[in-house]
Structure 1
Amino acid sequence: MIIGLTGGIGSGKSTVARAFETLGAAWVDADDVAREIVLPDEPALLAIQHRFGDQIMHQDGTLNRAALRDIIFKDPEQRQWLESVTHPRIRERLLQHLARLKAQGAPYVLLVSPLLFESGQHALVHRTVVVDVPQALQLSRTQQRDGVSESQVRAILAAQLSREQRLAKADDVIDNSGDHASMMEQVARLDERYRRQLNY
């Protein structure tokens, strides 16, 4: 069974995924895979460099993600072009990772993705879990974690589904606005439910 785990920026998806991992689940993060496919010499990076030039490259030949983010969140057309290049490659690589993790014998595998619904990756999973927090908390956590401006966080939020839309699509919800113990309790409940379903 593959569980899709999603939530807006700053909702704590990775923290929740690690909590599931402590209970024996395996997980792959679409953000990690998105970084993987733009490593030096990867076809996606060559296409991105060809389109945007050296302004989005570091001296060492790696992608300057901040410079690219600055361009694509100001121009929806550029973002659509970037997604057309990266999303199919991310999907293909995710399938490889998921197959490998399933073969290793975890009871179920989490696909952690901020754009689970937007990118169509929800078609790869059997159930979806949304990690939910109020928008004010998303803003403060992301600014603190990434050292970015409020306007940049709001631009990223605007590119994602609204909180209401995401919750409407969820099979399960984890409220991550409380303390760590509350989150762990919710994860343990879902873990128990997923294992029960696997026994049928």
Structure 2
Amino acid sequence: MALLIGLTGGIGSGKTTVARMLQELGGYVIDADLLCRELVQPEEAAWREIVEHFGDGILNPDRTLNRAQLGKIVFHDSGEKRVLESILHPRVFEEEERRFAGIVRNDPGALVFIDAALLIESGNYRKVDKVVVVACDRHTQIENSLKKGFLSREEIESRIDNQMKQEDKLAYADYIIWNNGDLSELEQNVRSIFEELKALNK
């Protein structure tokens, strides 16, 4: 029997690294952020709705969404954030279900992970069999995020403060992967949880 597992964690927690490790172990990963990017390609239905609401000012010269510009708007206005989520979330959920069904058709015993930063906030955790939260201390979050080079320390700290608190996320977790140690320790933790999940779907 296939299992659908939600994988989540705050900015800089190492969620993407964990998703890659799970894939290497034989799990399937559906990346919610990647689905979002596909759904907002120019002239797609979601793209049209977003442009209609937010205006042409959020577009790059090639008509793709300027995610940084859109992020600035929704990051500082919870009402606008809700509008964006109401456009994207139902479509993302639908596409996740479609892809899960496709995977299960080919591999009935699959372990399928939905890699989603907003798994809990969006309510999508209700649709999965298990929830895995990747967690680490604040210092590690900041250092990991700085390495990516996209955001300043101030911006990272502001995002951490505006995201759902880690301890609140942990309350929803069936499994917690702590990522404060080195890479080999993380690999051991991931492998251990993967084996536990595999034992559930026999």
Q: TM-score range by the shorter chain?
A: over 0.9
- Equivalence for 2:83: 81
Any idea what the Cα deviations from partners look like across 1:42-68, whole Å, max 9, x if unmatched? 111111111222211011110000010
Equivalent residue letter for 1:109 = V
Distance 2:143 2:187 in 1: 22
Kindly report which structure 2 residues correspond to 1:1-200, keeping only aligned pairs within 5 A, or say none: 1-105=3-107, 107-199=110-202
Q: Structure 1 residues 166 and 93 mapped into 2: Cα distance closer, same or farther (>3 Å)? A: same
Equivalent residue letter for 2:55 = G
Q: Structure 1 residues 150 and 22 mapped into 2: Cα distance closer, same or farther (>3 Å)? A: same
The TM-score normalised by the length of structure 2 is 0.93
Give how far 1:150 is off.
3.0
- Unaligned stretches of 5+ residues in structure 2: none
Give how far 1:127 is off.
0.6
Identity across the alignment (%): 37
Any idea what the Cα deviations from partners look like across 1:103-155, whole Å, max 9, x if unmatched? 23163111111011100111221111100011222122223314212333234
Equivalent residue letter for 1:20 = L
The answer to whether the Cα contact below 8 Å between 2:10 and 2:163 also exists between their aligned partners in 1 is yes
Equivalent residue letter for 1:108 = L
The answer to whether the Cα contact below 8 Å between 1:118 and 1:160 also exists between their aligned partners in 2 is no
Q: 4+ residue stretches of structure 1 with deviation over 4 A?
A: none
Distance 2:90 2:196 in 1: 32
Any idea what the Cα deviations from partners look like across 1:169-188, whole Å, max 9, x if unmatched? 11101011211111111111
- Unaligned stretches of 5+ residues in structure 1: none
The answer to whether the Cα contact below 8 Å between 1:4 and 1:116 also exists between their aligned partners in 2 is yes
The TM-score normalised by the length of structure 1 is 0.94
Equivalent residue letter for 1:44 = A
The answer to whether the Cα contact below 8 Å between 2:103 and 2:110 also exists between their aligned partners in 1 is no
Aligned length: 199
DSSP-derived class of the 1:2 partner: strand
